[in-house]
Amino acid sequence: MDVAVFDPKTGAAGDMIISALIDAGASEEKVLESMNKATEKFGEVEIKSGKVSENSINVHSIDVISREEKHMSHKEIIDILDNSNLSKEIISLSKEVFSSINRAEENVHGETHGFHEVGQLDAIADVVGACKAYYNLDLDKKKVYCTPIDVGKGLIKISHGSFNVPAPAVQEILNSSKLQWFQNKIEGELLTPTGAAILSNFVDKSVSEIPLFISDRVGRGKGDRDLGDISNTLTVYLGEAELDLIEERVGLIEVVVDDVDGEVIGYSIDKLMEEGAHDVSVVPTTMKKGRTGNLIRVICGRDKIHSISKTLCNELGTLGVMISSVRHRLIAKREIKEIEIFNSEVKVKLGYFKDGELFDISAEYDDCKKIAQDSDVSLRKVKKLVEEKAREEFS
């Protein structure tokens, strides 16, 4: 599977997205041609594009300068796009991006005739250029990820006064998108409405970390602001994720106890599994002063981390747990099926690779145990016969 990953550690804007995609291999000539096509009939726009140095690293930079100060309405922008000589796919995606901005502006300001924070020709050039680069790199045929976006912090001055970062329109776009965001130490706005709208329409899935894949290209797009020692660049990675197994994000919770008896630990394991833990293991360990204890490790989905941590504290009496950073887990596709054998219904778990190849069959222990108890056949033989029949039926 081909993948693209946006990594906006210092935010995102339209020009940064275009620059990163050109740096990753999109045709600079074709992107600039599309930007000019979208604006040439309606005002003077100057586009400067090329390599620059950012903290001694070569990155790409796009600077769009518009001589037109008019703020256009959503309808006027749609008319410009519809009357341009751009391809249908570029027009369609560009209109979706501006519709995202328009919905955000209407939610913030009510029904409006003109965009407040965007709407000039430079914004049209940014959106069209980004959409052209998107299709030029075949991102529509790739799985597009985005790591959490640093939106900046503090206050920003807009046409209606000073507001908290993220600006109201940006917040509205984030609220209706798949994008994760955070605030770090950099003051001011890092994520613009145009940048937020473009990414919200490009990205298939937001991830907390860059997923497992093999990269073959990287692009870096420069931002306008000087952040000192921090490189103000948006990075995009292109590559492949050829995995036979399914990637899953999980949390790992650990706690060490030395004063809990085996029955309580056993009960706790059952309860944790009932609450949705993927797996629970207990490892004997030696603690300080030579005391024996148990390390209890729980793997669970990210949405279960808080509730399972609370259960560990309640059941084991521990005063705290350790949560490791969210990790990748590679798992097979699984199905539970039933087969009829020994005049009984027996459940079997089937494991598949992503391409549909069956590679593992496991008979349900409790079902096999009941058959063994009700007959003179050993449990080992019952499991073997069940799995052989399942392989015949489902291979």
pLDDT in tens, 33-88: 999 888 887 667 788 999 998 888 899 999 988 776 667 788 888 988 998 889 99
Which residue's entry shows tokens 């990155």?
Answer: 59
Interior angle at CA 50, CA 239 and CA 167, nearest 5: 75
- Both 300 and 356 in a single domain? no
- Both 134 and 218 in a single domain? yes
- Both 326 and 341 in a single domain? no
- Both 150 and 183 in a single domain? yes
- Both 303 and 351 in a single domain? no
Average pLDDT over residues 119-136: 90
- Residue 329: pLDDT over 80: no
- Both 225 and 292 in a single domain? no
Instruction: Give just the sign of the alpha carbon dihedral 78, 82, 86, 91.
Output: positive
- Both 254 and 364 in a single domain? no
Range of weakest confidence among 31-45, 162-176, 327-341, 377-391? 327-341
Mark which of 331, 352, 384 sits at the end of a domain. 331
Among the ranges 205-209, 299-303, 306-310, 352-356, which has the highest mean pLDDT value?
306-310
Residue 285, number of CB atoms within 10 A of its CB: 13
Range of weakest confidence among 153-162, 250-259, 331-340? 153-162
Specify whether the CB–CB gap between 210 and 220 falls below 8 A.
no
Return the percentage of the chain with pLDDT > 70, whole number.
Answer: 92
* CA–CA separation, 166 and 301 (whole Å): 29
* CA–CA separation, 138 and 142 (whole Å): 7
- Residue 1: pLDDT over 90: no
pLDDT tens sequence across 220-277: 999 988 888 899 999 999 998 765 555 667 889 999 998 888 899 999 999 999 999 9
Mark which of 175, 206, 240 sits at the end of a domain. 240
- Both 200 and 227 in a single domain? yes
Specify whether the CB–CB gap between 107 and 193 falls below 8 A.
no
Q: How many domains does the chain have?
A: 3
Return the percentage of the chain with pLDDT > 90, whole number.
Answer: 56
Residue 67 or 182, more confident: 182
- Residue 211: pLDDT over 90: no
- Both 84 and 174 in a single domain? yes
- Residue 301: pLDDT over 80: yes
pTM score, whole prediction: 0.68
- Following CA atoms 374, 377, 378, 383 in sequence, which dihedral angle do they give, to the nearest 10 degrees? -90
How high does pLDDT run on average in the chain? 88
- Residue 303: pLDDT over 60: yes
Minimal CA–CA distance to 256: which of 285, 219, 217?
A: 285
Q: Is 326 exposed, middle or buried (0-12, 13-18, 19+ CB in 10 A)?
A: middle
**Which structural domain, as residue segments, surrounds residue 368?**
333-394
* CA–CA separation, 365 and 383 (whole Å): 8
- Both 75 and 223 in a single domain? yes
- Both 109 and 226 in a single domain? yes
Mark which of 300, 315, 331 sits at the end of a domain. 331
Which residue's entry shows tokens 């093999």?
Answer: 214
- Residue 190: pLDDT over 90: yes
Q: What is the pLDDT of residue 229?
A: 86
The amino acid at 265: I
Residue 248 or 292, more confident: 292
- Both 269 and 318 in a single domain? yes
Which CATH number does the domain housing residue 251 bear? Answer: 3.30.70.1380
